[in-house]
Amino acid sequence: MKTKCLIIFIYFVTLICKAQPDITWQENYGGSGVDFAYSIVHTNDGGFVMAGYALSDGGNVTDHNGQRDFWIVKSDAQGVLQWEKAYGGNNAETAYSIKQTNDNGFIVTGVTASVNGDITENFGYDDIWILKLDASGNLEWQKSYGDGDTERAWEILQTSDGGYVLAGYSWLGTSHKEGIVIKIDAAGNIEWQNLYSFDNNGNNEEFHSIKQTSDGGYIVAGETFVFEELVNPPQYWVIKLNAMGDIEWNKRYGGTNIDSAWHVQQTTDNGYIVLGYSYSNDEDVSGNHGLEDIWVIKLDSNGNIQWGKSLGGSQHDRAYSIIQMVDGNYLVAGYSDSNDGDVTTNQGSYDGWLIKLDTSGNIIWQKSVGGSSFDIFRSVIQTTDGGFAVAGRTDSSDTAAGTLQGDGDYWLVKFDAESLSTQNSNFLENSISLYPNPTSDIVTIKSNNHIHKVKLHTLKGQLVIEKTDSNHIECAELASGVYVMHVYLDNQLIVKRLIIK
């Protein structure tokens, strides 16, 4: 009987995992020109905020300063525009990363070439620029950082001490560029900053992604290569730093062609998942489909490769965003103009491309979304309903997002929950309830069946509580926010959302 139940359980899970999620809704935002969303956040009120650039006037864009501006767009949970803000000067600015802060405001970073308008300082040609916004998008403070000809920051996040850390690169005159990490306090004052090189031999390096790790340090990813005549093409570059920015380990990965890492995240087993693209098909890279492929590598806690996966077809396939979902699997967001290999459909030109991988890198499902023109996914997040949302750019006038505002618009696509919601509705008829929910202390799980195990995860997939044979969970020590609870009954798995005040 137990074997039969296990087979049924595996069968249901297989059906769930292979089902492609449906689009809940999609929206586009923009003005008369080209607008591009690089980063998205699921906000505490259930809505979304995006950051990128606006090279537009009119439409949804107000107060455009000139050339490209940082453009921050806030929507509600259904994608309805609530507010938008443009920040910049008379030259080019682009925002690459936005995060919500502990005070429900936002921290944004990118690059600026201006020294007027909203920018008060410039230290070279291009500077790193940081904005701190309140919950309504109003400017609280802004800072420029630079020491060479060109600096750029690709990602920023709030740290556990309430300050911020960012990663990018600094171009040192005409010689070469190096990866840079800057740690600042809550007011934007520099606490420490370091330049990094893979082997101190004048390589050209840059960081594209940074995350704080569970030990209080940082994991950083980007690329490293010898610039002169491309003697050595770029490779993935990943370094582990302690809390003060000192290197704990420093490794590169790839083949003999171009490989560039764009996203890194710590995984629930304390390893790391690294995403980017690769033209290689040798050394660390195998299974290339043609031209560049999306390349995902899973590392252990010491940076050793556990597995790697090339994803794509015979044309151009790239990705810049990966998340570990609450079920432990991975979701990749990128774009493709292939129509073969791993890509089963193409709507025309480049499509946004989503791929779900299991914990060994095998494809569970993949989905292309777009119209007849240029459409790409740049940033993906999991949402509190178990679904996910993706931001990027659409140049197509024949998607379901609506009328194109200009030559290219911000593109926000919300997808239904796949495994989580399907489990809730399809795993027999059992139901459970949580009370009180929201809670600030103890939550009770009510069920007509025996509860074998309960696991509570953050939205990033981190396991924070695990209980056996208990229907009470103590939550007083947990931070406020939304959590995902897995309740294991006899041969059933029920997933619920828990809000902690």
Where does the pLDDT of residue 457 fall: very low under 50, low under 70, confident under 90, or very high at 90 and above? confident
Q: How confident is the model at residue 469 (pLDDT cuts 50, 70, 90)?
A: confident
**Which of 86-100, 167-181, 268-282, 363-377 is predicted with the least confidence, judged by mean pLDDT?**
167-181
Output the pLDDT for position 139: 98
pLDDT of 449 reads 77
**Are the CB atoms for 322 and 309 separated by under 8 Å?**
no
Is the pLDDT confidence value at 468 over 60?
yes
Give the mean model confidence (pLDDT) for residues 223-251. 87
* Cross-sheet strand order for the sheet of 93-100: 93-100, 106-112, 127-133, 139-145
- Cα angle 102-107-108, degrees, rounded to a multiple of 5: 160
User: Which pLDDT tens digit goes with each residue over 376-421?
Assistant: 999 999 998 889 999 999 999 887 677 889 999 999 999 998 743 3
Asked whether residue 238 is assigned to any structural domain, the reply reads no
- Mean pLDDT value of segment 166-184: 89
Region 193-212: mean pLDDT is 90
Give yes or no: residues 406 and 485 share one domain: no
Partners of 331 in the beta sheet? Answer: 323, 356
Q: What is the mean pLDDT of residues 178-197?
A: 97
Q: Does residue 415 sit in the same domain as residue 437?
A: no
Is the predicted pLDDT of residue 189 greater than 90, yes or no?
Answer: yes
Residue 233: what pLDDT? 85
Look at residue 227 in the predicted model and tell me its pLDDT.
56
pLDDT band at residue 228 under the 50/70/90 scheme: low
User: Does residue 379 lie within any of the structural domains?
Assistant: yes
- Give residue 429's pLDDT: 33
The pLDDT of residue 133: 99
With 0-12 / 13-18 / 19 or more C-beta atoms within 10 angstroms meaning exposed / middle / buried, residue 1 is: exposed
pLDDT (tens digit per residue) in 102-153 = 999 999 999 999 999 999 999 988 999 999 999 999 999 999 999 868 999 9
375 within some domain: yes
CB 396 within 8 A of CB 379: no
Residues 341 and 373 in one domain: yes
Write the pLDDT tens digit of every residue in 347-358. 888 999 999 999
Domain assignment present for residue 320? The answer is no
At which of 420, 454, 474 does a domain end? 420
What is d(CA 41, CA 28) in angstroms, rounded to the nearest whole number? 16
Residues of the chain by 3-state class (helix, strand, coil), percent to 5: 5, 50, 40
pLDDT digits 0-9 by tens, 410-442: 999 999 987 433 344 333 334 688 999 999 999
What distance in Å separates the CA atoms of residue 292 and residue 400, rounded to the nearest whole number? Answer: 29
Q: How far apart are CA 157 and CA 102, in angstroms?
A: 11
Tell me the pLDDT band of 192, cut-offs 50, 70 and 90: very high
Same domain, 416 and 463: no
The verdict on whether omega for the bond into residue 436 sits within 30 degrees of 0, i.e. cis, is yes
Q: Are residues 366 and 403 in the same domain?
A: yes
Q: State whether 371 and 433 are in the same domain.
A: no
493-500 β-sheet, strand order? 463-468, 453-458, 481-488, 493-500
- Selection from 409, 434, 419, 431 nearest residue 59 by Cα: 409
496 and 441 assigned to the same domain: yes
Q: Is 227 inside a domain boundary?
A: no
Asked if residue 435 and residue 395 are part of one domain, the reply reads no
Choice among 87-101, 186-200, 220-234 with the minimum mean pLDDT? 220-234
User: Which of 376, 402, 420 is a domain's end point?
Assistant: 420
pLDDT at 182: 98
pLDDT score for 17:
38
Quote the pLDDT of residue 444. Answer: 94
- With 0.85 as the threshold, say if the pTM is over it: no
Domain that holds residue 456: 427-500
Q: Is residue 176 part of a domain?
A: no
Q: Among residues of the chain, what percentage have pLDDT more than 70?
A: 90
Tell me the average pLDDT across 168-183: 88
User: What tens digit of pLDDT does each residue of 74-83 get?
Assistant: 999 999 999 9
Whole-number pLDDT of residue 16: 37
266 is a domain residue = no
In the chain, how many domains are there?
Answer: 2
Which positions ≥6 away from 4 have C-beta within 8 Å? Answer: none
Could you tell me the CATH number of the domain that includes residue 456?
A: 2.60.40.3080
pLDDT of 55 above 50:
yes
The domain boundary residue, chosen from 366, 400, 420: 420
Q: Is the pLDDT of residue 10 over 80?
A: no
Per-residue confidence (pLDDT) for residue 490, from 0 to 100: 62
**Quick one: 409 and 434 in the same domain?**
no
Same domain, 415 and 333: yes
Whether 404 and 432 share a structural domain: no
DSSP state of 230: G
Tens of pLDDT along 265-324?
999 999 999 999 999 999 999 999 999 999 999 999 999 999 999 999 999 999 999 999
Residue 20 has pLDDT above 60, yes or no: yes
Same domain? 451 vs 399: no
Residue 448 within any structural domain of the chain: yes
